[in-house]
């Protein structure tokens, strides 16, 4: 995992969202990171130093002049130690100080020392009226221009004052994904990637459809991985249950529930793409006619015939229109004659590579968080990726094909 053995510095300022940060620290530690914490004094009004020390396993830096500090200049040693820093929540006060270069407490001196040397994620959180303040917006725009800084846009929703508006700190999963982004080498900057994910739904009548067990986890993991590497991603989604986490807006989601809708979306976006990865489980057949009303079972009826017709072949259509600079990667989920069927699909649909997985492999296939795949290339190369998380499988696939 990308956070394994990484040194993460968590900076906390005095906003109500500080109470969520112990859960972020716990999640980072679970992912294999080593975490240290720097805070303002006001932050400790919302979350105790003992809590932060317990979940991080390290002493908290909250007072520049504390006698218990490990080093006399913690604000220098902590940036030296860390691989990346996240400031969450970042209050209006801390954002303004950051933009002006003011360093007058444990957190802001640490930020001032870190900002020119290490990646920093800033997660503003405040009342919507404070967020809309021109001075706050000017400060945000200032720090957005700095090379090492990435600002996560605050969410809209209920606020501590009892109203609703823009200013909520994003959820923990978004903060962690932002750190994953910050720590990933940007090997795909300038590339546009088209990815399909999930299963299609072929309508029978207003209340029924034909589908499959796909959750979209593998396709969404691929979208996350490409975005982390700096690519612009168009994600065409069928029915998915896996969450899409998009802290910096690099993934453009297009919903396309039916095979026909997915075909049309892919054909529209393919000309602008450098790479397409077709991970969706697209239905091969669809009802020849969709009933306008719910089909009712009649008295004494024991069977029903449903007439099906083939759906558009997305992979073949993209393969036949592929330009010299474009690459097309397919997926094959097989239950028998796996490699033979996959190679036939690769050739017939003009793919550059195909990712093969089998329902017969324990821990692979639909609905699980792990996968085991073999990547077969048109040039004859073959790469096997052992059973691991779908996030790690996605990284292995991209490492193989780029």
239-288 pLDDT, tens digit each = 999 999 999 999 999 999 999 999 999 999 999 999 999 999 999 999 99
Q: How confident is the model at residue 72 (pLDDT cuts 50, 70, 90)?
A: low
Q: How confident is the model at residue 68 (pLDDT cuts 50, 70, 90)?
A: low
Cα–Cα distance measured from residue 100 to residue 38, given in angstroms and rounded to the nearest whole number: 20
Listed range (27-41, 73-87, 266-280) with the worst mean pLDDT: 73-87
Specify the pLDDT at position 125. Answer: 97
Q: How confident is the model at residue 302 (pLDDT cuts 50, 70, 90)?
A: very high
φ/ψ region of 365 (left if φ > 0, alpha if ψ in -120 to 50, else beta) reads left
Q: What percent of the chain has pLDDT over 70?
A: 98
136-187 per-position pLDDT tens digit? 999 999 999 999 999 999 999 988 888 889 999 999 999 999 999 999 999 9
- The answer, yes or no, to whether residue 392 has pLDDT greater than 80, is yes
CATH of region 7-182? 3.40.50.1950
Specify the pLDDT at position 88. Answer: 98
Listed range (11-15, 108-112, 131-135, 163-167) with the worst mean pLDDT: 163-167
Please indicate whether residue 161 is annotated as part of the active site.
Answer: yes
Specify the pLDDT at position 258. Answer: 98
Specify the pLDDT at position 335. Answer: 83
Q: What percent of the chain has pLDDT over 90?
A: 90
Q: How confident is the model at residue 111 (pLDDT cuts 50, 70, 90)?
A: very high
- The answer, yes or no, to whether residue 73 has pLDDT greater than 90, is no
**Residues 67 and 74 sit within 8 Å (Cβ to Cβ):** no
- The predicted model gives 391-396 an average pLDDT of 96
Specify the pLDDT at position 74. Answer: 79
- The answer, yes or no, to whether residue 299 has pLDDT greater than 60, is yes
Tell me the fold of 192-284+307-401: Rossmann fold (3.40.50)
- The answer, yes or no, to whether residue 67 has pLDDT greater than 60, is no
Specify the pLDDT at position 332. Answer: 94
Q: How confident is the model at residue 364 (pLDDT cuts 50, 70, 90)?
A: confident
Specify the pLDDT at position 360. Answer: 79
- The answer, yes or no, to whether residue 39 has pLDDT greater than 80, is yes
Catalytic residue among 156, 161, 226, 237: 161
Specify the pLDDT at position 71. Answer: 53
Specify the pLDDT at position 262. Answer: 98
- The answer, yes or no, to whether residue 134 has pLDDT greater than 80, is yes
Determine how β-strand 353-358 pairs with β-strand 327-334. parallel
306-355 per-position pLDDT tens digit? 999 999 999 999 999 999 999 999 999 888 889 999 999 999 999 999 99
- Ranges of each domain in the chain: 7-182, 192-284+307-401
């Amino acid at each position: 995992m990308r956070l394994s053995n990484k040194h993460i510095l968590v900076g906390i300022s005095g906003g109500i969202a500080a109470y969520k940060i112990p859960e972020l620290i716990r999640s980072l530690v679970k992912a294999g990171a080593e975490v240290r914490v720097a805070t303002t004094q006001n932050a400790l009004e919302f979350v105790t130093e003992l809590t932060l020390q317990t979940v991080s396993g390290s002493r908290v830096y909250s007072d520049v002049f504390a006698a218990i500090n490990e080093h006399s200049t913690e604000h220098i040693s902590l940036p030296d130690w860390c691989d990346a820093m996240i400031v969450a929540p970042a209050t209006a006060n801390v954002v303004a100080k950051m933009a002006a270069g003011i360093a007058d407490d444990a957190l802001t001196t640490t930020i001032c020392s870190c900002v020119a040397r290490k990646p920093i994620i800033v997660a503003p959180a405040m009342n919507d009226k404070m967020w809309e303040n021109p001075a706050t917006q000017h400060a945000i725009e200032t720090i957005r221009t700095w090379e090492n800084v990435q600002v996560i846009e605050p969410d809209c929703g209920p606020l501590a004052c009892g109203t609703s508006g823009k200013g909520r700190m994003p959820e923990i999963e978004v903060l962690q994904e932002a750190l994953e982004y910050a720590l990933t080498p940007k090997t795909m900057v300038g590339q546009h990637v088209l990815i399909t994910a999930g299963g299609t739904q072929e309508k029978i009548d207003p209340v029924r459809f034909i589908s499959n067990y796909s959750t979209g986890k593998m396709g969404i993991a691929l979208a996350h991985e490409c975005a982390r590497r700096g690519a612009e991603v168009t994600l065409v989604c069928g029915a998915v249950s896996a969450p899409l986490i998009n802290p910096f807006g690099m993934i453009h989601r297009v919903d396309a529930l039916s095979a026909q809708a997915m075909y049309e979306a892919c054909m529209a976006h393919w000309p602008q793409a450098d790479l397409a990865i077709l991970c969706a489980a697209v239905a091969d057949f669809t009802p020849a006619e969709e009933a306008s009303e719910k089909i009712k079972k009649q008295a004494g009826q024991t069977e029903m015939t449903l007439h099906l017709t083939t759906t558009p072949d997305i992979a073949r259509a993209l393969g036949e229109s592929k330009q010299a600079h474009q690459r097309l990667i397919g997926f094959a989920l097989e239950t028998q004659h796996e490699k033979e069927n996959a190679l036939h699909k690769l050739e017939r649909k003009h793919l550059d590579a195909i990712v093969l997985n089998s329902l017969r492999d324990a821990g692979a296939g639909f609905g699980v968080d792990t996968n085991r795949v073999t990547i077969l290339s048109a040039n004859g190369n073959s790469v096997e990726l052992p059973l691991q998380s779908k996030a790690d499988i996605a990284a292995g696939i991209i490492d193989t094909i780029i």
